Chain A
Amino acid sequence: MQDKHEAHRSYGLQTAGSRGIAGTKRYAMVIDLRKCIGCRSCMVACKAEFGIPLGVWRTWVKEGDKGSYPNTRRIFMPRLCNHCDYPVCVRNCPTQATFKHKDGFVLQRYNRCIGCRTCMVACPYNARHLIPAKRTDKNLPTMVVDKCTFCIHRVKKGLVPSCVQACVGGARIFGDMNDPNSEVSKLASKETLTVLKPELGTSPSVSYIGGDWELMDEPHSYTNRSTQLKDEFNDFKRNHKGDAFGDIVEGEPTMPQVIANMNGFLHTIPHKAKGVFDSFVNFFFK
């Protein structure tokens, strides 16, 4: 149901939230975690659908263990862009490269994106990534920000998103939340749905049935990492060079890393300068 306060909430220059508003669509995904088996078919399907490069993801499945031996359980939580009704990424983008479609999709215009990563800083859910400079298909965009599109190209043809199609457990359910006959609204009326970080007022369109607090809470995700995950993440940061990211490895002196980070940034300049030069050549001489 529409919240009476939300009906009047405007969102800067952007399309107003459409949840519960008659005559509009509000595409949403419900993820039934009781059915998720952690097979990661959705991750593979998404990668295949869009040719997503190594090291970045539009959707992924977070995993944990809970309980004490012998009463333990493995828990999963698929993650993706929440296609927020009030998206911070859209609000903060300086060039309107990311925008909200009237049916609820939050989309990206690669030709407008300058790669400033403001939206990555703004998104509370890590749902965005910078496409790496090297990509197998040279015709696809690089060094701009990318994110989940809720497979709008499929949805407009009456299909469900690729991850939903591939989900072997039937855990991902997709549909129009404003349509009382859709599967998602039926689930919403009979199950308890939770969303990530509801206190931020983003009004996510991805909700979970049976969400575990351990996976949904951000500080907890940090304090309760396994040693292996911590080591792997530190290795990832240590080995990562360039692109001006500000990754700092835990347990190592901070300032030398800040300097090394600057060094990495300076090393990216010749490559970027070559790109600028090539653009000029293409523009004026080809």
Chain B
Amino acid sequence: MEESVITYNVFHHVAWGTSISVYFWLVGVSTGSFIISSLGWVFGIERYKSIALTASITAVVILLLVPSLLIWDLGQPLRFLYLLLPSYWHATGPMSWGSTFIFFYSIAIIVYSYFVIVNNPFWAKMIGIISVVLAILLELYTGVVMQLNPGRFLNNTALTPFLFLTGAFISGIGVLILVLWIQNMLVAIKVEWTLIEEMAKYMMFGLVFDLFLLFLDFMQTLYGDHGQVIGHEVVLMGVFRFPYLWLEIIIGLLIPFFILVSPLKKFKAGILLAALLVAVGVYGMRVWWVMGGQYLQTFY
């Protein structure tokens, strides 16, 4: 093999940074938390009605942080309005769909929360159905916006939207469990611990599914095309090893999984720790997926 070395190239940036990774995480937590909120009023599981309001308010509060991140991330912040103007809207751009979903999802979950507060089952269910659909679409879009970049070896896989959706579900439950625990300590209205244990069980199923998807992705990168193989070696196992291997897989998935299948799940502290680790771990995924996915190309 002939030796060769690249001696000069101009420098390129990773175009999307931490603000976008935090945004993806927040949107995930909001939609995940909202889906739990809908279990009672939309899907008719009565015992979840007691936490519906806390869950939807958590979804709203977390979503409120999103516009500030997104708008200030733009080169021209005031022009965020263009994203909502019909004459600018671009049907083939995933972000056009995403901004539409965010806009309507925010309104829908606020209206839903109102009907939950005034105890109006009909409208809570109707608006709830719309909100659940929007929540799922919104979370899928965050994956699609990363997926539809054919030049990004690590992102350009059909698994991306599902990984984002599963991550959203488990991180949403994780944050919600922590919020409910704080609510139990501070407010007179208490949530039964058995309900939280049940949510932790859902979270565990999500963890297993996420691990399965990650395994498929691992196989793809390990035995994929040249870019994926090098991406696996230098991005996943190299520069982004901490967010990928440690934060996401070990801290965010494996440790909580072992907590939730061991006797530790009988202790409050065990479940709370698992919830915290899952929420933090999913952020690790957002970091390597957004910033790691673009890393290799900056040298091209």
Contacts and interface: CB of A to CB of B under 8 A. Distances in A.
A115 B72 CA distance: 10
Contact of B17 (A214, A233, A261, A276): A261
Nearest to A115: B75
A117 B298 contact: no
B298 A94 contact: no
Given A92-B93, A96-B88, A120-B15, A279 B8 contact: no
Contacts of A225: 5-6, 299
A53 interface: no
A56 B165 CA distance: 36
Contact of B239 (A92, A117, A250): A250
Interface residues of B, number: 71
A60 B9 contact: yes
Given A13-B90, A60-B10, A245-B15, A222 B296 contact: yes
B40 interface: no
Interface stretch (A148-156, A180-188, A251-259): A251-259
A62 B74 contact: no
Nearest to B233: A223
Contacts of B295: 248
B294 A67 contact: no
Contact of B91 (A13, A222, A247): A13
Given A91-B148, A114-B74, A246-B17, 9 more contacts: A65-B5, A117-B15, A122-B148, A200-B151, A224-B4, A232-B11, A258-B21, A262-B19, A275-B77
Q: A-B pairs with the 9 shortest C-beta distances? A: A115-B75, A124-B151, A246-B17, A12-B92, A143-B75, A219-B230, A120-B15, A94-B95, A66-B4
Interface of A: 12-14, 55, 57, 60-68, 75, 88, 91-96, 112-118, 120-126, 129-130, 142-145, 197, 200-202, 212, 214-215, 217-226, 228-229, 232-233, 236-237, 240, 243-248, 250, 253-255, 258-259, 261-262, 265, 268-269, 272-273, 275-276, 279
